[in-house]
Amino acid sequence: MARPLVTVLPGDGIGPEVVEQAERVLRRVAPDVELVRRPIGGAALDEVGSPLPESTLAACRESDAVLLGAVGGPKWDNVQPVQLRPEIGGLLALRKGLGLSANIRPAKTYPALLAASPLKGDAGLVDLVVVRELTGGIYFGQPRERREQGRVAVDTCVYSVEEIESVAHVAFRMARQRRCLVTSVDKANVLETSRLWRETVERVAEEFPDVQLEHLLVDNCAMQLVRNPRRFDVIVTENLFGDVLSDEAAMLTGSLGMLPSASLRPNGGANPFGLYEPAHGSAPDIAGQNLANPIATILSAAMLLRLSLGRPDAADSIEKAVGRVLERGVRTRDLAADGEPYVGTAEMGNAVLREIAERG
């Protein structure tokens, strides 16, 4: 069987530093996986004149999955035309070019980091996943225009049964690997797209009799997320609601440096192609100083192994090693309390590797 191929896009700022640690971990737990680096973002713009070179996009399309660091930084903030900016011409163009329609953002608090959660006591012990539809809804609906001499603006929200089914399947499959509860979030008391969403999700649920389905209105969901987030397992929702709810859920864990993400191209099968990246940006304020927390990227690599390569054991060993490292009190600067000692990016990578070597 051919070796699985992963294209690695280090990008800008802290991107190369955090990606390097994730590559070391991947090599340890899945030595047969081939990792090939390609340029993206400001680095690619400087190197070859494009934030997303054709050869990078082609390499991504030929691989089983993509691991990305982050793109952008002050050096490229004023580049003209805007299509050459790393975030627009690099990352957004990449996501579009790869046809990624389901975004997955886990929000999990590690007990050792509970104090960082804005919620009091055990309420902050969150372990949920937001599955967001990424290529439909109001962000893409036509018409989108100004009328009446610019005094009226119109955005259109469109959803098809196929788009809803596709993301619902991702959510139900994910719930099956977790606690078997899907919360579908909509605004069905007001919106026609939400009524179609609800009907379609209910039909998909019939294929998953072992998974419980509940519906929540988006305003209620936003409230429950801060009141009792532990009640959630998998939240599935449309593009705009997902944008807001995934950020809200992320903040419950208290640390940007800990949050992985995946964007999938659902194919009806068990192991879709996906782009995996930390939820944070390129953090130019700490770039090149060995201060970045690599855990979000290391956990993104674990998601890659589980979701796109079908290697749950390798993913588990990474996630457990991260938990144990934190329990031992190892902290990067962003996780350390005032006056508490901290380690650098590479040392955090070493600590995770050591745990994997010792306990598997």
- Would you say 184 or 297 has its CB closer to ligand NAD? 297
Rounded Cα distance between 212 and 6, Å, is 34
Residues from 300 through 339 that contact ligand NAD (CB under 6 A): 334
Single out the segment in contact with ligand NAD by CB under 6 A; choices: 69-77, 146-154, 189-197, 221-229: 69-77
Task: Report the candidate in 94, 136, 118, 351 with the shortest Cα–Cα distance to residue 343.
Answer: 351
Catalytic residue selected from 127, 139, 316, 342: 139
- The single residue of 243, 316, 320, 342 carrying the catalytic annotation is 243
Please tell me the distance from the alpha carbon of residue 236 to that of residue 91, in angstroms, as a whole number: 24
Please identify which residue in the block is written with the tokens 């640690």: 21
State the pairing for strand pair 34-37/102-108.
unpaired
Going edge to edge, which strands form the sheet with 212-217?
Answer: 34-37, 5-11, 65-70, 273-278, 260-265, 102-108, 127-133, 234-237, 181-186, 212-217
- DSSP 3-state assignment of 71? coil
Residue tagged active-site, from 108, 159, 186, 187: 187
Does 19 interact with ligand NAD (rule: CB under 6 A)?
Answer: no
Of the candidates 232, 266, 226, 277, the one whose C-alpha atom is nearest the C-alpha of residue 105 is: 277
247 catalytic? Reply is: yes
Quick one: which of 114, 286, 304, 318 contacts ligand NAD (CB under 6 A)? 286
Rounded to 5 degrees, φ, ψ at 110 are -85, 135
Residue given tokens 């580049």 in the structure block:
79
The reply to whether 22 sits near ligand NAD by the rule CB under 6 A is: no
Instruction: Tell me the number of residues near ligand NAD by CB under 6 A.
Output: 22
- According to CB under 6 A, which one of 25, 30, 59, 87 is a site residue for ligand NAD? 87
259 scored as a contact of ligand NAD (CB under 6 A): no
Measuring CA to CA, which residue among 309, 97, 264 is closest to residue 169?
264
Per the annotation, the verdict on 108 as an active-site residue is no
Region of 109-117, 292-300, 304-312, 321-329 interacting with ligand NAD (CB under 6 A): 292-300
User: Should residue 348 be labelled a site residue for ligand NAD when binding is judged by CB under 6 A?
Assistant: no
Of 70, 104, 170, 252, the residue at the interface with ligand NAD (CB under 6 A) is: 70
State the minimum distance, in angstroms, from the CB of residue 307 to ligand NAD.
18
Q: Is residue 75 annotated as part of the catalytic site, yes or no? A: no
Beta bridge partners of 107: 128
Q: Shortest Cβ distance from residue 249 to ligand NAD (Å)?
A: 17
Q: Which residues contact 150 (CB under 8 A, 6 or more apart)?
A: none
Least separation in angstroms between CB 248 and ligand NAD = 17
Pick from 229, 257, 260, 274: which binds ligand NAD (CB under 6 A)? 257
Which one from 46, 77, 122, 219 is the annotated catalytic residue?
219
C-alpha angle 322-275-6 in degrees, rounded to nearest 5:
80
Q: Which amino acids are annotated catalytic? A: 139, 187, 219, 243, 247
Question: Where do contacts with ligand NAD occur on this chain (CB under 6 A)?
Answer: 14, 18, 70-73, 87, 91, 256-257, 277, 280-286, 292-293, 296, 334
